[in-house]
Structure 1
Amino acid sequence: MSSVKQLIYGTIIHSLSLDKLHIIKNGLLGVDGNGKIVSLQEDVETEKLDSILEDLAEDSKFIRLSKWQFIMPGFIDTHTHAPQYANAGTGMDLPLLEWLDKYTFPLEQSFSSIEFAAKVYPRFVSHLLRNGTTTAVYYATIHLESSKYLAETVKGSGQRGFIGKVNMDRNSPEYYIENCNDSVLHTEEFVKYVLDLDAGQNLVQPIVTPRFAITCSEKLMIALADIAAKHDVPIQSHLSENTSEIAFVSKLFPDIKDYTSVYDHHRLLNHKTIMAHGVHLTNDERDLLKQRNVGISHCPNSNLALRSGVCNVRQLLRDGIKVGLGTDISGGGSKTILDAMRSASTASRVIAMRDGNEDHLKLSELVFLATMGGAELVNLQDIIGNFEVGKDFDALLIDPCAEGSPIDIFDIDDIGRVFEKFIFLGDDRNIIDVFVKGRRVSGI
């Protein structure tokens, strides 16, 4: 086992599909020096383990998990606004468009100052990692330099991230708006900067970010689509979050069929596109998203907090649309994907009670959305999301018995029940180690 640099023995839990949560007891997982999973064995007896350890290279690390500890894949946050972290937990009294004008745009303008960005971005990235988010899809602001700073911060933290400089050239406050030509030039510069910053490490990538159709002219959207195609980078925006937003888009584009078609008309929909929310999609819009292989980032906490609506995730999945989870700070108040999973469970139960013919999301589905579903949205399903051999080791070491743990374990419990308790009761106190590409990037 000379290629193995880390060997982990104990309970290993990951998603193989929406309906299959695989719990491996006495599992043995090997990681090489490049952070790739090179072996995964099940039901390894202690006697066999001893002989395996004898063959382990001297410079390799061996981790033996205790009875209730387990490892699971890192969480993937497919939609969050880094600058809005300064507002998290405040301003929950207004619906979306009014909320943007009163709270969000004034805050985001503050990021014209690198000094202000330096007070927020490092803290937010650190908190995400501490809460188990190994991959995050970020919105920054319209400001080029502070957007670069966010990319640098994510890279320096060791987190896997997609960073977007926001674009807005109309229907925005006078103090927070761009000239279309400047927006295009700065986005081109930003994309090149982040590509150079990553230097082939495949950890930090740029993502082209028209905020939403309301704040982007046709000229700007077309230019952004050209940039994304030229550099083969992903795209993110917002879609069908709020009924007032949908009505506004309809007035702006009276000759285009619907909100989703607006983006399609401007060549912004493809397999690398992530659209946040998708709460009020029509049948035709869902068909179009499926045809373009667009992913939806489900942000249930935000949808409820801003009174936007309740997204029918079961319908999206049934239609074959990719779905992941997002915290949507600061529309959502929590920085952890654990909260997004719990809110997604609640939202699905509301749909089930309201419609009567839908089933709520089960544990296996929630875990899939938080890991493999997110990996599919960022087109890294062959690299992260579970522990298949050949993938990168992006993982969390969970201890349900950690000091101060909110989880109690009783004689009736087994590891399956304890895992479920972590998903619905656990928090950062239970996350002992966080690994990205085999490297420990956070932990107690």
Structure 2
Amino acid sequence: MKRILKIIILIIIGIVLSLGVGTYIFYKNIHVPASNEKNTSTVSRNESQNKEQAIERKNILFVGSDENNLSDTIFVINYDAVNKKINILSIPRDTYYPRPGFNAPEEKKINAAFSEGKIEGLEKAVEDLLGIKIDNYVILNYEGFKKIIDTIGGVEIDVPFNMKYDDNSANPPLHIDLKKGRQVLDGEKAIQFVRYRHGYVDGDLGRIKAQHQFLEAFLKKMLQPSILPKVPSLAITVSQYLKTDLTASEITQYAYQFIKDKPSTINAMALPGEGRYEGNTSYFFVDNIKVQEIVKELFSDEVSTSNTSTTSFAENKNIKVEVLNGAGIPGLATKYAEVLKNEGFDVVKIGNVIGMTFTSSHVYARTDEERAEKVAKTLFITNVENDISPDANVDVTVILGKDKE
């Protein structure tokens, strides 16, 4: 849904800009930091063209939230204007993300970082998880999503099977009742479609695939000429229900570029991994090695300088690391030791933790915290602790938990 929101804004503002209508409404109502806004009304045609040419590629975090401020849908998207591509990475809300001081089972899911730490907490969680920098955010609640779909006259979707689910304990209660077959979904039915996940064999990943399907159908609908007369109403709806730290001028700039270029490629992927139970709680455990490959493919131009893709191979050779298997899974330490070696780190020891099993992975700084952070970023481990010792034979100790299975 995050992805949906962004494109809604891009298309809306782009069309509004090109037609010369509705821009005033957007500028007047959009929830953006006023102190950062520039007066675009005086920007000349040449200045606009220069901005267009200098459009910056950013990683934008999209959150679809319910009435209780819970993040039900999480996307990271960037628009590659140079190659005319849209890159989307969906993050399951049950993704295992332990945080120091939060020990309850539900608190170890990434969506808890939003409900407890708000957008700043979720931004940090996603940055830690992916090793990228989040530049901006967009938040849309369910009511806004429904009104947007109703405003454009619904979206045509082929519902793959009968979807029936009721949760009276939810606030508000969730009731889903969709019949199999191709049909036009209004706002209420569209939110049911993108939220449904209990009938998919692969759980939340199945829902993510359905959301990608909905996105494609939504984009097709948004590019139809029949949408043009609805632009003013659509702009008002978006401005009322959307929160973002993007300025109106930034949104307009990206929108214009989007409409002008008409991107032909959408790379929509889900975070790699698998869902399984830890005790009585269902988590989605990330495949950290595959994540690195996807991050390089989708966000290579945006990977933060702390990520190993931009860390010099020569510097890593001076960092001595020991990798210990704390999960009791055969070959686990060797597997991740190879990842470190491929990035230039000097792995001086591979072994096992005796007498204790770790659920989550940890990185310990034995000589220098900065070196430990580099190793943690390479392996996408969020738990970094200091264990400085003048007698240490290594710079960093890695203990792999079951989350690295």
Shorter-normalised TM range = under 0.3
Q: TM-score, normalised by structure 2?
A: 0.25
